[in-house]
Every structure is written in structure tokens, then in C-alpha cells.
Amino acid sequence: PPKITTQTIVDMKERGQKISMLTAYDFTMAHIVDQAGIDVILVGDSASNVMAGYETTVPMTLDHMIYHASCVVRGVETALVIADLPFMSYQVTAKEALTSAGRMMKEAGVHGVKLEGGKPIVKTIAKIVEAGIPVMGHLGLTPQSIYKFGTYKVRATGDEEADQLLEDARLLEEAGCFSIVLEKIPAELAQKVTAELSIPTIGIGAGAACDGQVLVTHDMLGLNKEFKPRFLRRYADMHSGMTEAVQSYIQDVKSGDFPSEQEQYG
Ligand code: KIV
Ligand code: NA
């Protein structure tokens, strides 16, 4: 299949074709997800939680993200690969943001970057886009601001925050974003944003009207038992599957069943 570009993603909205996006942080997972036919792979800073075991995405560094992204890029043939710029790699100055985005693209080989936020970073986004680096926006529950929100509850349930989000979405489109992630906002608001914009919205906990959907791969595979938000659909129970496999291995080693005659050299 032909390589997916940012233009492909924008065209898909026009044609009314839904966009599928999943996360990956390493070569093996990226290869599986790409070969399965996903449209977009996000090297999310959720790697902070999923890979590194931190409680939030705040500790993630640009060097960590470049490492994860470079591993993913080597596993991908056709998907569009977008990487998150981590907390404090783009907020201080537009110049630093462009340097961070440029490093991500040159050193990891991704096709674009994702930044969290609206109005305060639109000039920064315009600068990155002008340099030839595609940018995906991210509004709603933006996890890098968790200490500002103080909670992972659904955002923009009130009129003021909803109006601001709609305005932010317009500004992001104007600044040149090719797409926007909408995280954990009321479905009705996501529908409104999706109808207003000519660039595609990709939702996570943002309802069915979005032009595409994204989930954290480890979550949808059921690799962790604890994380069960309303928006998550589990497509496998890999926590149980892996636990059973490991337990069988332990049992076979202990009993002497493994290795068998066929599993050793003469
Ligand atoms: O880091 C991440 O995985 C994300 C998605 C959930 C949108 O930003
Ligand atoms: Na993220």
C-alpha cells in the first residue's frame, strides 16, 4: 500500500473516511500496528506512563522521545508517524520549539510532531509549520497540564471552556495544523469542532463524530488491568494471555518439561 501522508489524512476527512490512529513506542509494536494497516502511528509521550512507569507525562524528555520515535520509524512501512513534543520542549520560546521539532524530525525521522495547547502556542505552531514540519494539535484534556487541571476528568463541560476550545481549534487550523486530537471532551462539543474545521479531528474519549479515533495500544490490547476509563474499548485481554504464557513457561522449567528432545542440540 502507498505511504500515508498528512495530505492523505486531510483528504480522508473530505471523503468521509474515518482515520485510525494508535500509539507505539518501540520497533516491534510499531511493526505489528503498521502491518495491520493503521493510518497513523503516534509516538505519544504516554510512553512516560506506559514505558517508563511515571505517573504523568511531565518527566518525559526530548531525548527519550527521540529514542522511542526512532525505534518506531524503523518498524513502519506505510503509516504516518507523528511524535509528541514533550513537556517544556516547546513552551518556553518559539525558537526552542522549532529546534525541538527539527531534532525530532531529523534524528528520529518522524513525519510530523504533536503539541498540546491552543492560543498560547499558535505562533509557535505557525513557525514550525513554516519550517516544513507538519503539526498535529491537541486540545481538551491535555495531560502535560495535569497539575493545572488537578484531575483527569472530562474537560470543557462548561460554556466558557467549550467556547475557548472551539476558538483554539479555529486558531490551530489557521496556524497550519493538519489535524487536531480532541481528548476527553463532551461528544457534542467534539461534533461542533469537527463540523467547523476543514482539518480532521481525532478523538479519544470525544465521541463518534470525530473524523478519526486514537487509543493507547497497550490499553486497547488489555495489557494493563487497572486503567478502565469509559472511553476505552478493549480488543484483547493480553494481560491474562501473557500471564498464562509466563506461568506455563515457569511450570515447564520447574518440572523439567522444557526443553524437550527437539528443543536441544545433539
Ligand atoms: O501520548 C499519547 O498517547 C497521546 C494520545 C492519547 C492522544 O497523546
Ligand atoms: Na501525548
The reply to whether ipTM tops 0.95 is: yes
Domain ranges of the chain: 6-235, 238-266
- The whole-number pLDDT of residue 173 equals 98
- In this structure, which residue's CA is closest to atom 4 in ligand 1? 44
Q: Which amino acid, 183?
A: E
Whole-structure pTM value: 0.98
Domain 6-235, CATH? 3.20.20.60
- The whole-number pLDDT of residue 195 equals 98
| Ligand nearest the Cα atom of residue 216 | 1
- The whole-number pLDDT of residue 6 equals 98
Known binding residue 46? Answer is yes
- The whole-number pLDDT of residue 188 equals 98
- The whole-number pLDDT of residue 246 equals 98
Give 225's contacts (C-beta < 8 A, 6+ positions apart). Answer: 239
- Burial of 178-217, coded b for 16+ CB within 10 Å and e otherwise, reads bbbbbbbbbeebbbbbbeebebbbbbbbbbebbbbbbbbb
- The whole-number pLDDT of residue 83 equals 99
Q: Where are the beta strands (DSSP E) in 194-235?
A: 201-204, 212-215
- In this structure, which residue's CA is closest to atom 3 in ligand 1? 44
- The DSSP result for 4-20, as a single string, is P-HHHHHHHHHHTPPEE
Helix (H, G, I), strand (E, B) or coil at 164: helix
Instruction: With a cut of 50, list the residues of the chain below it in pLDDT.
Output: none
Q: What distance in angstroms lies between residue 146's CA and the mean position of ligand 1's atoms?
A: 13
Q: What distance in angstroms lies between residue 91's CA and the mean position of ligand 2's atoms?
A: 15
- The whole-number pLDDT of residue 217 equals 98
